[in-house]
């Protein structure tokens, strides 16, 4: 599978990564999916300490401990579970991040994390303190690089101007083109976008239209708009499948370092990997897709 460099870092990731949140709780199943992902060329795994109260990190750790050096391992911090696990609170403090990384390292059974990401962020945070925490973890060798996971433009601009982030994880797909407004600025800072949700909750896959349209809406799309749009996508003259079109659309811009669809089944994993190995999207098809799909912008946190 083709690889891309995250920012100007030493991390080279497969264009298709694996978002591990949807692996489930069955250890044998989760480990087998990760093994298969690696076998088909995926080297980039993304998890978070928030997922399943840390159990997701534990499953990932068990799956990769014998092939750690084959993997670019990413996880996230910044959310603190309440004691009764009824919810979580936001804590981007240096104290919390430095404690969180220790717990993640234990669960992942490794002594370093390749990409450590802030799992959110607000403009009211003490951003300088948060950056200082990540920089110190990097100096200590506990992490190789760091990034943020955020769709808030005001937060993104702060980290681009103040920090050495190499990546910004953003929800991005043909049905959510809001990040495109910021691609030029992100690219100017030599930072990469990691696209989560590239299949828009299965709307951009080979599932029958009748199943896709069980949803009432998606972001600014009404159910009727979705129906018309998805039918237009299906009628595009292209040898690519819908999944291939969706993932290759995200990869069209060089600023995108990787897309990370989730997979709870082997079939989904193989479809995603095949889509990553498909031919890049021709410019005329890319242009046609952009003519069809809305170009919304973030309305808040600007």
Residue-wise DSSP of 244-273: HHHHHHHTSSTTEEEE--B-SSHHHHHHHH
Partners of 88 in beta bridges: 81
Calculate the CA 9 to chain-centre distance. 17
Q: Which of 51, 146, 172, 218 does the annotation list as catalytic?
A: 51
* Strands, E assignment, the chain: 3-5, 12-14, 18-19, 44-46, 72-77, 79-81, 88-90, 113-118, 143-149, 167-171, 192-196, 217-218, 221-222, 256-259
CA dist., res. 165 & res. 267, Å (int)? 34
Give 297-301 contacts, CB < 8 A, sequence gap 24+.
Answer: 297/178, 297/181, 298/151, 298/152, 298/153, 298/178, 298/181, 300/152, 301/123, 301/152, 301/153, 301/154, 301/155
Q: Tokens 């490794």 belong to which residue?
A: 110
Q: Tokens 């992902």 belong to which residue?
A: 37
Calculate the CA 112 to chain-centre distance. 20
Q: Active site includes 159? A: no
Structure tokens at 293: 């799909």
CA dist., res. 251 & res. 94, Å (int)? 34
Q: What is the number of residues in the chain?
A: 302
Neighbours of 197 (CB within 10 A): 20
Residues marked active site are found at 51
């Amino acid at each position: 599978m083709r690889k891309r460099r995250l920012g100007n870092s030493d991390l080279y990731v497969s264009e298709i990564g694996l978002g591990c949140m949807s692996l489930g709780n069955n250890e044998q199943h989760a480990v087998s999916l990760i093994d298969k992902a690696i076998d088909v060329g995926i080297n980039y795994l993304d998890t978070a300490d928030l997922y399943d109260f840390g159990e997701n990190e534990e499953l990932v750790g068990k799956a990769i401990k014998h092939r750690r050096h084959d993997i670019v391992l990413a996880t996230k911090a910044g959310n603190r579970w309440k004691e009764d696990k009824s919810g979580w609170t936001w804590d981007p403090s240096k104290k919390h991040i430095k404690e969180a990384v220790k717990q993640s390292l234990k669960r992942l059974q490794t002594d370093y994390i390749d990409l450590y990401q802030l799992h959110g962020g607000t403009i009211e945070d003490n951003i300088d303190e948060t950056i200082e925490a990540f920089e110190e973890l990097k100096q200590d060798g506990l992490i190789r690089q760091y990034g943020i996971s955020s769709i808030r433009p005001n937060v993104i601009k702060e980290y681009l101007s103040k920090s050495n982030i190499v990546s910004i994880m953003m929800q991005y797909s043909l049905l959510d083109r809001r990040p495109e407004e910021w691609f030029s600025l992100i690219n100017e800072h030599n930072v990469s976008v990691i696209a989560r949700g590239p299949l828009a909750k299965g709307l951009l896959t080979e599932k029958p239209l009748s199943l896709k349209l069980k949803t009432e809406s998606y972001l600014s799309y009404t159910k009727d708009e979705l129906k018309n749009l998805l039918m237009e996508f299906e009628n595009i003259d292209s040898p690519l499948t819908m999944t291939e079109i969706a993932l290759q659309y995200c990869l069209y811009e060089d600023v995108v370092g990787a897309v990370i669809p989730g997979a709870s089944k082997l079939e989904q994993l193989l479809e995603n990997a095949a889509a990553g190995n498909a031919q890049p999207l021709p410019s005329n098809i890319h242009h046609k897709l952009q003519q069809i799909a809305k170009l919304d912008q973030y309305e808040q946190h600007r």
